[in-house]
Structure formats: C-alpha cells, structure tokens
Amino acid sequence: MVEQALFQDQLVADPMTSTPFRIGRVVKESYDTFTLELVPQGRYQTFPFAPGQFNMLYVFGVGEIPISISGDPQHPSLLVHTTRAVGTVTKAMRALKVGDAIGVRGPFGSAWPVKEARGYDVVFVAGGIGLAPLRPALYQVLAQRDRYGKIVLLYGTRSPEDILFRSELEKWRSRFDLEIYVTVDYANSKWHGNVGVVTRLIPKAPFDPLNTIAMVCGPEVMMRFTALELQKRGVPSDHIYISMERNMKCATGFCGHCQFGPTFICKNGPVYPYNQLQSWLALWEV
Amino acid sequence: MTTAPLSFILESAHLQQLFDALARHGYHIIGPTLGDQAIIYDEITSVDDLPVGWVDEQSGGTYRLHQTKTPIYFGCTTAVQSWKRWLHPPTEVLWRARRTDSQFEILADEQPTPRYAFIGVRPCELQAIRIQDRVFLEGEFVEARYRARREAAFIIAVNCGRAGNTCFCASMGSGPEAREGFDLALTEVLEGDRHYFVVKTGSAAGQALLAEIPHQPAGDAEIEAAAHIIADTSAHMGRELNVDGLRDLLYRNYEHPRWEAVAQRCLSCGNCTLVCPTCFCVTIEDATNLNGDEAQRVRKWDSCFTMDFSYIHGGSVRYSAKSRYRQWMTHKLATWVDQFGTFGCVGCGRCITWCPVGIDITEEARLIRAADNQTVVNKKANHDESV
Ligand SMILES: Cc1cc2nc3c(=O)[nH]c(=O)nc-3n(C[C@H](O)[C@H](O)[C@H](O)COP(=O)(O)OP(=O)(O)OC[C@H]3O[C@@H](n4cnc5c(N)ncnc54)[C@H](O)[C@@H]3O)c2cc1C
Ligand code: SF4
Ligand code: SF4
Ligand code: FES
C-alpha cells in the first residue's frame, strides 16, 4: 500500500474525494445558525456555482453532510454556506474557527430557474433555514433587476430572533423595487410584524399569478402548502419550484439514500418544478 | 448481418488448463466453492475447489445442499452472495486524511486493482453486473474504484442446466442463457460417459485465452445438446413474474393493502438487499484513530430496510416497515425503470431463498396484480393550518 498526498488534479477524477478549504470568516446569524465563508484552495482558484446547488461538507473525522451554497454567484472567490446546528455534524461544524479546514465536494445538483424567470414576476417563499439556499437566486435576480417584473420575498421563521441575514434584509427592504414580508410563528412584545404561517402571506402578496415564477424553500410540509396556496391564486404548477431534502451520503447517485420515487434528489434535484413531484408529495413515507 | 458466434468444445478433462491459463495471466480466480453449508463465490485455484457433484435445493426461506454421484462441476445454481461482493465490496476505504494543526490533507489508499477472473457467472448475474454498470459507470459521475475492478475482470459465464425453485430469470429476460457481456460462456454437458463444455467466445480476450488451451470446433450434435439443456431449463423455471405493465401497476398501487400485509411478515432484516446482485446502496462511516489526527471514510453496503437509511433531522422518512418494503420492491420493479432504463431485478431468486420468512417478490407482485387498484386511501390532507 503506497501512502501519498494526492496531487489536487488527481482528485478531479474521483467525485468522492474532498478538497480542504480554509474558513476565512464565521458569522453568527442566530443562536443556532451560522455562516461560513470558505476560501477556495488547491485546484480551486474560485468556486463557480449556480444558485440552488449544494456541496458536501466534511468535518474532519466527524462526517459529511449536504449544505446549500448561500453566497453570491457573482463573487465565486468565496464559498459561502449557512447552516443550522441540529445534530452531530452541524454542531461540530459550528465549533470550527477561522483558519480551520473543512472538506468540500461539489457543486452538485440542479439550480433555481433564474434565467427562465426573466420577464416574469418572481416570488421567493422561504421557511426558516430555507432562506439560505434561496439567497444566491435573490442576489442574481437583483443584479439584473430590470430583467424581471415584481420581486417579492415572503419569509416565515420561528421567532424574531431567528431572522437570518437581518441587516441584508433591512437593506433590501429599503429598496423600492423589492417587496419583503416577514412572518414569525411566535412573537415577542417588540414584534410589530406578521404572526402566523408563511402561506398566509400568499393571498395578498403583490404579484401577477399568471406571470409569476415562484421559488420555494423550507420544510417539506411548508413547501407543499405554499404550492397549494400559490396554485389557488392561479400560479401554474410548473412555474412553482421547490428544493427537496433527503438523506444524502454521496451526492453522485451511488449511495441510493436520496431517492424520492423515481428520482435521485442529488442528481435530478434538489430543485424541481413542483408539477414533477406533485403526485409523490401527496403520499406518505416515499 | 450478424453471424452467430462460433462454438467450441472444451473437454472436462481440460478444464484445469483453463484455470492454469488464467493463473498465468495473473488473475485471481473466483468461483463457486463449498462454504459453510452453502455454495459461495470465493478465491479458488483448481477444479478440485469447485463443488463437484453438489446440487443445491432452494425454496422460500430454505437452502440445502446434497451430494450426488454425477461429476458435475456447475450443478448448483446461484451462490449465497453474488459477484457484487467482489466488484462492489461490502466495505471499502474511500480515503484517509491526516490532521496537522487546524488543517488536514487527504491521503490516497493506492491499492493495486485486483484482477479477478470470475468463473461460473450465471446469466442472471451477468445481467446484474451490467445493471450495476449503469449505476456506477453510466451516470453523470463515474465510480473510479468500481470501474478499475470491472475493467480488469475476466468473465466466464456458465449457462444454467437446471433452474432452482426460486429462479425466474426467464420472466426477467436475463437467462438461462448468457447472450452478451462475457469473455467466455460455457454450457456443461454430461452425456453418458462424456463430459464436456460447449464454449462461446464473447471478446477478443476470451478468444485469446481459449487459444491457449486445448479445444476444437463444436459439431452440430454438441451444439444441439447445449441448446436442448438451456431450453429445458427455460421450460422449468421455479417461479414466474408477469412483467407486463409492471411498472405502472406498482405506481398505481402505492397504497395497496398488500403492502401492509407483507409488512406483518417482513422482519426488516435487510437480507434481501444484501444478497441481491443489483442492490447498490451504501452508507459511509467516519472514524478517527485514538489520537484523533488520522481519519478515514469507509463505504459500507447499506439497506433501505434500516431506519437510518432515510434519516433526516427530525426522524426517518420511512418509519414503517410497510413503507420500507414498498420502497424496496417498488425500486426493483418500477422506479428502477425510470432511473436506469431496466428493472432492478434479474430473477435470481436470492431474496426469496434468503428471506427468513420466505417472502416472495413474485407472489407479492402477483397478489397486487390480482387486486389491481384496491387502494386504501391514505393521501395527505390538502388543508392543514399547522404548517
Ligand atoms: C440538498 C440539501 C441542502 C441542504 N442545505 C442546507 C443548508 O443550506 N443549511 C442547513 O442548515 N441545512 C441544510 N440541509 C440539511 C442538512 O444537511 C442537515 O441538517 C444535516 O445533514 C444534519 O446533519 P447532523 O449530523 O448535524 O444531524 P443529525 O440529526 O445528528 O444527523 C445524524 C446523522 O444523520 C445524518 N443525516 C441527517 N440529515 C441528513 C441529511 N439531510 N443528509 C445526510 N445525512 C443526514 C448525518 O449523516 C448524521 O451523521 C440540506 C440538506 C440537503 C439534502
Ligand atoms: S430482487 Fe430478488 S430475485 Fe430480483 S435480482 Fe434481487 S435478489 Fe434476485
Ligand atoms: S431496493 Fe433498497 S437497498 Fe436495493 S438499491 Fe433500491 S433502495 Fe437500495
Ligand atoms: S446522495 Fe447518494 S444517491 Fe443521491
């Protein structure tokens, strides 16, 4: 057995091998959610990706998990991920510091239909951490603002303390060409905004249903009810896009874990037009 | 116009020379041999390692071997484990990493690729290898380790002279005759005192190897004898699976009461997925050494029958045994078709034989077909204020 450090370009051949990236900055978004800015290394000068795509992030000795890219596709010199600490790997990731290394494989999967949405009103509907995978699409749409009709962001989260990317949302809110509505499940006395589920924001949101592309990301049940609500307003089911989550061990189609009916979420998804999955989403335990 | 491949005769007395030629070329020969009360595919070096005279008896939940006086080399049907064990091994180190301060570097396990010669690959198993090729070699990504082993392998198929009680390759179109994907294909013929193999070559490597051992062109009578054996096997399949419209049948019957009935018997042990020659699912385990400065990622066979398989934060997606059996069978016979353009079942019968309670995939499909559209309505509600 020959043991040697692999040259980076040898790694290209094997989609299962990670490349260590250095953590350049850590941002605490909320009590359980944090953003890591990674500096591409090795064979990566930059890290080009499409909004909606994800990476497999490896914490040394602990494990590897799928996390969507949450940064700006126009600035591929940084690789940005926003993660909610929920379990073994994400908690170990939260303990990492600036200068530490994290293993990266990717980018994998399908993208939000940012180009296809040109000429349409664009409605983003985010639930909780679901805002993170949508942010790259928001950046891209805003960078070419005049190519789109109305732009609306509907964002539901647990409590006012859980609001992600707060200063950025405030900055965006001051723009006249973007409407942002935020709702929380549980409010404190300082909260003067909406309370309740995000689907309640849909009936009165300002967009033309017949000329809209919707991009929806959040828990599966939230995405399903959002799609139903959007359809009620007249948005065609093939103009609604959702991003699916399943257990993933490989992201390359080899491990079988991410199957959802006839599709593999790692290769056919994670972003799908809703009409493609609609009948499967109505079933239990697929 | 295609010409039928030429057939040759290899006398059984010269079979050892085939082994010798493979060894000369540096192959590790893997073939059927007697394991612990069952035939296994393992490393062998001579014809004496073959289970001469042994015949297996398989049926739902049972496997038995008995010895006969016939000097037959390939008298047993499928072994417990398929060739998957060699091409897609049960555990494999993907890579290792070493930590230095806050950084780590990836280390490669540069193991030489084993060169296997598989002898005794059954037609259904050949088809299974080609199905796994689609998974690992023909998608967007290529599994480099599988490819290296696959490309190095030399395959000697053996056509079936007898179908087991759990076999249904004829239904799945995979056997009992090997049609492609082999280097050499043998049909074992025992006629009175005569014992020989009718050999077909399937590749240049196969032709070259055959050239090194005594052989002669087959005569019409010998070709006829081999064809008769295969036709007879085909006519005596142990089981049958009607594949007509099967994919849509299962899609339509996702909520069929039969799923609940089979779940009452299914132990969720995952035996069926482990013995199945096409099941490819794996998980990855991470480990570190005691100092915590070296880590490795190990890939292991996994099964969709475990709760962990579909675990996402908050719980398993398929929490009931019913949904896990449904995933398995629907994957084999329906979703696989959409994913890879073929069924994920070749009719080898292993899942029936090795199921501790004898659950039979052909019977389950038959019962669903018999009560097509007998759906228990169990759709999610379209109104829920608790989102
Ligand atoms: C395409 C995709 C994009 C995602 N994007 C984000 C994101 O941007 N931000 C974010 O916070 N979360 C995201 N997730 C969810 C995130 O992957 C899970 O929260 C994470 O895997 C949980 O791992 P854990 O070890 O901390 O959790 P635990 O609950 O401790 O999990 C225990 C074990 O189960 C496994 N496990 C749990 N969930 C998953 C999973 N989805 N895939 C594989 N294994 C799993 C892990 O291997 C882990 O070792 C995404 C998931 C997918 C599929
Ligand atoms: S599903 Fe059963 S019969 Fe079909 S290939 Fe797998 S083990 Fe063989
Ligand atoms: S049946 Fe289950 S274990 Fe086998 S390939 Fe399909 S999902 Fe994987
Ligand atoms: S994550 Fe392994 S097949 Fe999709």
Note whether A249 contacts B135, CB cutoff 8 Å: no
Tell me the pLDDT band of A6, cut-offs 50, 70 and 90: very low
From residue B176, how far is each of A214, A279, B158, B224, B236 by CA, in Å? Answer: 53, 39, 9, 16, 10
A265 CA → ligand 4 middle, Å: 7
Q: Give pLDDT, residue B189.
A: 98
Instruction: Find chain B residues with C-beta within 8 A of A2's C-beta.
Output: 110
Note whether B312 contacts A247, CB cutoff 8 Å: yes
Q: Give pLDDT, residue A1.
A: 28
Boundary (domain end) residue, out of B235, B258, B276: B235
List the single best residue of B141, B318, B343 to mutate versus A (max A Cβ within 10 A): B141
B338 CA → ligand 3 middle, Å: 14
Q: Give pLDDT, residue B231.
A: 97
Note whether A284 contacts B312, CB cutoff 8 Å: no
Note whether A285 contacts B99, CB cutoff 8 Å: no
Same domain, B279 and B183: no
Q: Considering every ligand atom shown, identify the ligand nearest to the alpha carbon of residue A268 and give its number.
A: 4
Q: How far is A166 from chain B (nearest CA, A)?
A: 23
Instruction: Find chain B residues with C-beta within 8 A of A5's C-beta.
Output: 105-108
Q: Are A114 and A140 in contact (CB under 8 A)?
A: yes
Q: How far is A247 from chain B (nearest CA, A)?
A: 5
CA distance B176 to B124: 7
Instruction: Find chain A residues with C-beta within 8 A of B328's C-beta.
Output: none
Cβ neighbours for B386, distance < 8 A, ≥ 6 positions apart: none
Instruction: Find chain B residues with C-beta within 8 A of A4's C-beta.
Output: 107-108, 110
* Tokens standing for residue A279: 């009948």
Tens digit of pLDDT for each residue in B73-109? Answer: 999 999 999 999 999 999 999 999 999 888 999 997 7
Nearest by CB to A249, from B95, B282, B295: name it: B282
B241 CA → ligand 2 middle, Å: 12
Same domain, B75 and B171: yes
Radius of gyration of chain B (CA): 23
Tell me whether residue B345 is in a domain: yes
Helix (H) or strand (E) holding B282: strand B282-288
Measured over the CA atoms of residue A141, residue A144, residue A148 and residue A154, the dihedral's sign is positive
Same domain, B133 and B251: no
Tell me the three-class secondary structure of chain A, residue by residue. Answer: CEEEECCHHHHCCCCCCCEEEEEEEEEECCCCEEEEEEECCCCCCCCCCCCCCEEEEEECCCEEEEEEECCCCCCCCCEEEEEECCCHHHHHHHCCCCCCEEEEEEEECCCCCCCCCCCCEEEEEEEHHHHHHHHHHHHHHHHCHHHCCCEEEEEEECCHHHCCCHHHHHHHHCCCCCEEEEEECCCCCCCCCEECCHHHHCCCCCCCHHHEEEEEECCHHHHHHHHHHHHHCCCCHHHEEEECCCCCCCCCCCCCCCEECCEECCCCCCEEEHHHHHHHHCCCCC
Same domain, B64 and B213: yes
Q: Strands A263-264 and A259-260, how do they pair?
A: antiparallel
Tens digit of pLDDT for each residue in B48-70? Answer: 999 999 999 999 999 999 999 99
Question: Is B97 at the interface with chain A, CB within 8 A?
Answer: yes
Same domain, B215 and B261: no
Tell me whether residue B46 is in a domain: yes
Same domain, B138 and B254: no
Q: Considering every ligand atom shown, identify the ligand nearest to the alpha carbon of residue A86 and give its number.
A: 1
Tell me whether residue B290 is in a domain: no
Instruction: Tell me whether residue B385 is exposed, middle or buried, using C-beta atoms within 10 angstroms of its C-beta: 0 to 12, 13 to 18, 19 or more.
Output: exposed
Domains and CATH numbers, chain A: 5-108 (2.40.30.10), 121-281 (3.40.50.80)
Q: Is the CB of B271 under 6 A from ligand 2?
A: no
CA distance B181 to A239: 44
Phi, psi of B208 (to 5 degrees): -65, -40
Ligand 3 atom nearest B332 alpha carbon: 1
Question: Is B313 at the interface with chain A, CB within 8 A?
Answer: yes
Tens digit of pLDDT for each residue in A36-87? Answer: 999 998 888 899 999 999 999 999 999 999 999 999 999 999 999 999 999 9
Q: Name the nearest CA neighbour of A27 among A167, A134, A185.
A: A167
Cβ neighbours for B151, distance < 8 A, ≥ 6 positions apart: none
Angle in degrees, CA A166, A167, A168, rounded to 5? 90
Question: Is B295 at the interface with chain A, CB within 8 A?
Answer: yes
Tell me whether residue B240 is in a domain: no
Q: Is the pLDDT of residue B386 over 60?
A: no
Same domain, B218 and B341: no
B260 CA → ligand 1 middle, Å: 30
Same domain, B304 and B187: no
Question: Is B292 at the interface with chain A, CB within 8 A?
Answer: yes
Range of the domain at B342: 246-284+300-386
Number of domains in chain B: 2
Nearest by CB to A60, from B295, B302, B319: name it: B295
Tell me whether residue B295 is in a domain: no
Same domain, B46 and B116: yes
CA distance A120 to B33: 67
Residue with the nearest Cα to atom 50 of ligand 1? A67
Query: In the beta sheet, which residues pair with residue B39?
Result: B34
From residue B247, how far is each of A257, B14, B369 by CA, in Å? Answer: 21, 46, 11
Q: Is the pLDDT of residue B1 over 50?
A: no
Instruction: Tell me whether residue B197 is exposed, middle or buried, using C-beta atoms within 10 angstroms of its C-beta: 0 to 12, 13 to 18, 19 or more.
Output: buried
Identify the residue with better confidence: A8 or B335. Answer: B335
Q: Is the pLDDT of residue A11 over 50?
A: no
Same domain, B194 and B264: no
Query: In the beta sheet, which residues pair with residue B8?
Result: B199, B217
Q: How far is B59 from chain A (nearest CA, A)?
A: 29
Helix (H) or strand (E) holding B169: helix B169-172
Note whether A103 contacts B97, CB cutoff 8 Å: yes
Same domain, B167 and B277: no
Note whether A60 contacts B104, CB cutoff 8 Å: yes
CA distance A160 to A75: 29
Q: Are B302 and B309 in contact (CB under 8 A)?
A: yes
Reported pTM: 0.94
| Mean of pLDDT over chain A | 93
Q: Name the nearest CA neighbour of B120 among B148, B90, B81, B150.
A: B81
Q: Amino acid identity, residue B127?
A: Q
Same domain, B188 and B268: no
Tell me the pLDDT band of B110, cut-offs 50, 70 and 90: confident
Q: Strands B91-100 and A271-273, how do they pair?
A: unpaired
CA distance B153 to B137: 15
